Amino acid sequence: MHRHGLTALAGCAAAALALPAAASATLTEVGSLPKTIPASTPSCTAGPVGSFAVAEEERVKKEAEAKKRAEEKKRKEEKKREEERRKKRKAKKASVRKKRAVHKAAVAKIVARSATTPTTTTPTPTTTTTTTTTTSTSTTTAGTTAEAPCLAVSRTTGFQMGVSTMSNMFVLPRSGRIVAWTIQLGKPTSAQIKFFDENEGGAPAANISVLQPEKTSRSVPKYTYKLVAQSPLIQLEPYFGLTVEFPLTTTLEAEKGDVIALTVPTWAPALALGYEKNTSWRASRPTSQCSVTDTQTAHIKIGKLRQYDCLYQTARLTYSATLISTP
């Protein structure tokens, strides 16, 4: 893993020295994945470029359209089956009427013979067989394979809600100090870098933030957080294609229950795709702007409250933080 400045061990050791001598320090990697959960790599190796927020809206839209088409197809198939049942009932009634007519004609013929001759004639019954042929149509939809998209998190602050069966990954289990943070970056092409630089506010950069959850009330909506600490902004382009750790010269104080978030004022190729819907992250955007990336929504002012209304599924923000805590 690529190191920036001091090694992680040195950075952690320096932070540990700042703690009281009598304290028993515990080191925790906040947001790391266990080996039981596959850690896919960030996108931006090939394919079309774009903002994940916009792509997520498009995915949800396509899912809704597909559901609508499926329901319409189901209605048409049900209508077709009902029409076939109606035709069968009609054919059955016609068959019954025909049998009755044949039987009636046979009886009339017997009666006529009986009137002219005393000989008793046993009629030969006539049997009419109706065969219904059902045609089965099989439709096969061929799948198409496309290049993996290059999607980036842009102009926002976000934190992972969960990955697979894991939840509250970035909620601190105890109080302490954040002494380093790590980010895994994709490796976009020069054309993709140019696209994002021109459309997402400039060169790629990020830092980590410590968020304090606010108690919900009439004046404070759900998912509201206060920014209580933030690390220096790091320019990311030199580290594309790497997993890089940044030890903090000035560590960040954090309390139990605080949330560690990734702040990206421009853009960053730090999204791993292809997860199920039980993998999700929240962003500091209002509900009406979940797909809007041309507006700056990054949480950057210390002490300011912001609502994290937008929930994005099937992707993971590829960052973590190192916490040194005391009992």
pLDDT of residue 253: 95
The closest alpha carbon to 203, from 282, 268, 148, 140, belongs to 268
pLDDT of residue 245: 94
pLDDT of residue 167: 87
Cβ-based neighbours of 20, under 8 Å, separated by 6 or more:
326
Please provide the DSSP assignment of 109-165 as one string: HHHHHHHH-S---PPPPP--------------PPP---PPPEEEEEEEEEEEEEETT
Q: What single-letter amino acid sits at 120?
A: T
- Which letter does DSSP use for residue 168 in this model? -
* DSSP reduced 3-state for 252: strand
Question: What percentage of the chain's residues is helix, strand, coil (to nearest 5)?
Answer: 30, 30, 40
Q: How far apart are CA 227 and CA 238, in angstroms?
A: 28
pLDDT of residue 77: 86
* Contact yes or no for 324/176 (Cβ under 8 A): yes
Q: What single-letter amino acid sits at 122?
A: T
Please provide the DSSP assignment of 59-82 as one string: HHHHHHHHHHHHHHHHHHHHHHHH
pLDDT of residue 127: 44
pLDDT of residue 57: 65
* DSSP reduced 3-state for 316: strand
* Contact yes or no for 215/186 (Cβ under 8 A): no
Q: How far apart are CA 267 and CA 280, in angstroms?
A: 19
The token pair at 234 is 């790091």
The DSSP element (H or E) to which 284 belongs, if any, is: none
pLDDT of residue 104: 74
pLDDT of residue 148: 57
Q: How far apart are CA 275 and CA 262, in angstroms?
A: 19
Tell me which residues of the chain have a pLDDT lower than 70.
1-25, 33-40, 45-59, 106-107, 109-148, 327
pLDDT of residue 86: 86
**For the chain, how many residues are written?**
327
Half-sphere exposure in the Cβ direction for 162 (13 Å, CA): 9
The token pair at 214 is 């606010």
Half-sphere exposure in the Cβ direction for 23 (13 Å, CA): 15
Q: How far apart are CA 39 and CA 112, in angstroms?
A: 92
